[in-house]
Amino acid sequence: MPQSFQPLSLRYSEPSIYALHYLELTALAAHIRTREISSVDATRAQLARISALDGALHSYALVMAYAAMAQAEAADAEIAAGRYRGPLHGVPIAVKDLCQTAGFVTAGGMAIHKHHVPTEDATVVRRLKDAGAVLLGKLQLTEGAYSDHHPSIAPPRNPWHTDHWPGMSSSGSGVATAAGLCYGSLGSDTGGSIRFPSAANGLTGIKPSWGRVSRHGVFELAASLDHIGPMARSAIDAGVLLNAIAGSDEKDPTALLDPVPDYLATADHGVRGLRIGIDVAWNSDGVDPATQAMLKDAAETLRALGARLVDLRFPDVTQAVADWFPLCAVEAAVAHEATYPSRKDAYGPVLASVIESGHAVSGIEFQKIRLHRMALRGRVSALFTGIDLLLIPVHPFASPTVAAMQTLGETPTLVSALLRYTAPFDMTGHPTITLPGGFTDAGMPLAFQLVAAHMDEATLVRAGAAFQGVTAWHRRHPLD
């Protein structure tokens, strides 16, 4: 890090109980808009914090310090001239390193792409820049966004406790946002990789409806399962990021044409009258006591806010979870056909094994998966004729350790249990929000999910904001 990037004495209108680096995105945005804090000061402070802490946390794949400072200077000049672009203007954020960035390496967690410098920004990156955000850098991920890191890469470490799992492929996004190394980030979710690191690091994450956010310029893992979405410190912050990146895109014909609502317009409407479905059996079968207690508390909080809890029976997801593996493998094989097997030696063993298994799936097997998937999507969509939201865990065990997660390959039942509450909604494309809901006795974050009907992210932001208006789980931070 260049010597010029040193923390400054930052200007506040009044003392804050939170350090600058742990402000919510929207709180910092308010200070920047009124010029009480400059984007340059906030960005310089973030770069200094990254320099001081990320050598141990490994959340960044690439820090774009000079470009970030130039963007911050431009933001301050525009704001001073009265050209304010909105709540991301001048705010330092970061993106998962599978989002292409023109002129800067985008490796996707892969040794094979370590020198890949795109000439064009991904649509989500361009939209963040158009909103005036300052891009601090690229966040580390598992190889090709599957389940394990390439052997040459040091995995991100959970800032709450390094012995605990930081989440799956978007772990760099989770660690950096939780540790105060950016004010929000983008992740991707194919089997749970926005939701797992949001839960593990005490963050709020939105997995949008499939197609709500363009995938143009984002490395594929599995095209029909991949979702790009925000990870932040609050539902409101996540809504701000989603507002910026959502919408149709002529460069991505799979991006949905539906107009993008203002997700903050109804964020203060509360949950009174909303119907929240709960399958007590599904939420408790094989789920540990700490997670069950957290789910019960979350449900009671929402009930106290005026929501109506509705008992229901969720469709059996056993087949969907089993189908997720071969479906992801086939689509990963397609995504990597230009370099695998021709450059097989550059791949790590886990991703290579997945691609190999994808080549082995027959056409008959693949068609059966497609039919199962269509049926599940219809059954889940039908549930939302009687409810507005579904309340479920993120995974059935509280804050797993790194050591426990390293046994995944040897324990198929553990893998299936991990994906039971996440993969089905990648298969159906329904949107979800992950919300911090408590802590274990060891002081590690716990979280739950709310699921909504297709394209109803606005209700997720609304419910998340209501829950976070009367709880403070999302305002607890690691490290200091």
287-307 tens-digit pLDDT: 999 999 999 999 999 999 999
What type of residue is 436? P
Instruction: State how far the Cα of 390 lies from the Cα of 295, in Å rounded to an integer.
Output: 12
Within 10 angstroms of residue 339's Cβ, the number of other Cβ atoms is 15
Question: pLDDT by residue (tens digit) across 295-348?
Answer: 999 999 999 999 999 999 999 999 999 999 999 999 999 999 999 999 999 999
Burial class for 348, CB neighbours closer than 10 Å (0-12, 13-18, 19+): buried
Alpha-helical segments (H) within 158-226? 171-178, 195-201
Give me the residues paired with residue 275 across strands.
308
Instruction: State how far the Cα of 244 lies from the Cα of 232, in Å rounded to an integer.
Output: 14
Place of tokens 């990156």: 125
Under the banding of pLDDT at 50, 70 and 90, the label for residue 14 is very low
Check if the beta carbon of residue 25 is closer than 8 Å to that of residue 184: yes
**Predicted pLDDT at 45:** 97
What is the overall mean pLDDT for the chain?
95
**Predicted pLDDT at 7:** 29
**Phi, psi dihedrals of residue 312, rounded to the nearest 5°:** -150, 170
Instruction: State how far the Cα of 274 lies from the Cα of 466, in Å rounded to an integer.
Output: 12
**Predicted pLDDT at 269:** 98
Instruction: State how far the Cα of 263 lies from the Cα of 243, in Å rounded to an integer.
Output: 6
Which positions are catalytic?
96, 169, 193
Instruction: State how far the Cα of 318 lies from the Cα of 424, in Å rounded to an integer.
Output: 9
- Whether 5 shows a pLDDT value over 50: the answer reads no
Under the banding of pLDDT at 50, 70 and 90, the label for residue 255 is very high
Question: pLDDT by residue (tens digit) across 123-164?
Answer: 999 999 999 999 999 999 999 999 999 999 999 999 999 999
- Whether 182 shows a pLDDT value over 90: the answer reads yes
Instruction: State how far the Cα of 338 lies from the Cα of 304, in Å rounded to an integer.
Output: 54
The arithmetic mean of pLDDT across residues 244-260, rounded, is 98
Check if the beta carbon of residue 455 is closer than 8 Å to that of residue 212: yes
Strand order across the beta sheet in which 60-63 lies: 60-63, 134-139, 92-96, 185-189, 227-232, 204-207, 432-439, 445-452, 389-393, 275-278, 308-311
- Give first-to-last CA distance, the chain, whole Å: 22
Task: Please indicate whether residue 480 or residue 259 has the higher confidence score (pLDDT).
Answer: 259
Which tokens hold the place of 355?
A: 């691609």
Give the DSSP letter of residue 453.
S
**Predicted pLDDT at 4:** 31
Question: pLDDT by residue (tens digit) across 187-225?
Answer: 999 999 999 999 999 999 999 999 999 999 999 999 999
**Predicted pLDDT at 472:** 97
- Whether 3 shows a pLDDT value over 50: the answer reads no
The arithmetic mean of pLDDT across residues 263-289, rounded, is 97
Burial class for 404, CB neighbours closer than 10 Å (0-12, 13-18, 19+): middle
The arithmetic mean of pLDDT across residues 374-396, rounded, is 98
